Amino acid sequence: MSEVDFDGPDEIDTGVLRQVDAICSEFDRNWQAGFAPRMEDYIPRLPVPGMSVGFTDLLGIEIEWRRAAGEKPTAAEYVDRFPEFASLVRKFFSWDEPTVNSPVPPIPDSEAGQKSIDGIPKQLGGFRIERRLGGGAFGVVYLAQDPDLPRYVALKVPRSTRILTPEQRQAFVRDAEFASQLNHPGVVTIHGIQTIDDIPIIIQEFLPGGDLKDRLKAADFDFKQVVAWMIPIAEAIAAAHQKNIYHRDLKPANILLDEHGNPRVADFGLALHEQELWDHRDELAGTYAYMSPEQVRRETNRLDGRSDIWSLGVIFYEMLTGKRPFVGSTEQIIEQIKLREPRPPRQLNPAIPEELQRICVKCLEKRVARRYATARDFSEDLAKWQRDTQRRSDRIRSKPNRGALVATGASPAEKLPRVVPKGLRSFDSRDSEFFL
């Protein structure tokens, strides 16, 4: 096999980068879970246009975890494993010898001694690093102690290879800029941005409940819980839409949970303001399984809040059924989103209430005009179902318990009003209880 060119194309489509990020994030999570995944199993899944970037990111993730385990990986070892990527390996190891391209940006000289032997810093600026929370192709998230307040925060640190240009830097910090504009209880709170050695670091609230993606893997939820989660998520997106901000990458991994299980929308890195849509025409961005038909058709200039409503519908469908509405290869998913109607949720789970199926399917209408006009309309329909369900439960609880009457020794006839029908004679108001 010929050696891969390191430089590759001058520009890589945003959608390709997101695909690379999804693959690398999965690789990272499997390392975190203790499975010791192999790069050889992930490289074939990388899109060709993103092969160089993807290989480099996979390499960085694997080396980070191996160093954390006390190993000392070398360039020669990886050249032997991946001779077709020899130039990539050599370039990678030359970036940050001897720390081997830790995902953490270079630490200022005054703090160089604060880096631990596993490549994870003990200190970033004034923040004391407690542990690594997660990461992927775009960067790493650390749990840290705030130096000024008695609280933990999450630090989002980009990989140095992802902020080489002013445009890349701006793309990284726009996540914080959009989220801070919203100031909504359903959106992750941004505490600020701090620059260390010319590297921007986002400081945001730490949410200990994990993300919705991991929660979906762990258990099945009753429909009341699903609706209780979807309502505040939809309300948060409605608040973004009121400010003409469109998220474009809603998915379970971008819904974080606090210590009480309340959801917060995160990651506005792909979000666009309405005024920016035309400048991003023909752009493919997002996560394929959650993209709307207009997203996969690259009609960015025609997007509005109803594209996010589609993505909310996919999340809702997955929570109701345990499955995504569109699955398969990337090409198959795109084709299904464009042309195939999703299976009705009740075909997968007959216990799903008909009204919840109706709400879900309305979000997933191919034609934009047939979806909910606003995320708040979606939220209000869910809230109405929630109220109606609660009223039915209350009525059931308020009915006389005949079993309890028997248990106390009293017969139903002694406790309930005696009603005698009048037969063929006329009824009057005194007979009303007979019809209850």
Catalytic residues: 249
Amino acid, single-letter form, for residue 246: Y
CA distances from 349 to 35, 325, 362 (A): 32, 13, 18
The DSSP 8-state label assigned to residue 408 in this structure reads T
Cβ-based neighbours of 429, under 8 Å, separated by 6 or more: none
Q: Tokens for 15?
A: 């959608």
3-state secondary structure 173-206: HHHHHHHHHHCCCCECCEEEEEEECCEEEEEEEC
Contact at 8 Å (CB) between 200 and 172?
A: yes
Contact at 8 Å (CB) between 204 and 219?
A: no
Amino acid, single-letter form, for residue 147: P
The DSSP 8-state label assigned to residue 424 in this structure reads T
Angle at 376 between CA 374 and CA 379, to 5 degrees: 125
Angle at 328 between CA 334 and CA 349, to 5 degrees: 105
Tell me the H-state helices in 33-108: 39-42, 51-68, 75-81, 86-95
Tracing tokens 């430089």 back to the chain, one arrives at: 7
Nearest to 162 by CA among 1, 355, 24: 24
Q: Which residues pair with 156 in a beta bridge?
A: 141, 202
What are the counts of helices (DSSP H) followed by strands (DSSP E) for the chain?
16, 10
Q: How many CA atoms lie within 13 A of 419 on its CB side?
A: 15
How far is Cα 122 from Cα 434, in angstroms, rounded to an integer? 77
Q: Tokens for 7?
A: 């430089």
Nearest to 132 by CA among 123, 142, 121: 142
98 cis-preceded (ω within 30 degrees of 0)? yes
How far is Cα 135 from Cα 25, in angstroms, rounded to an integer? 6
For the chain, report the end-to-end CA distance as a whole number of angstroms. Answer: 82
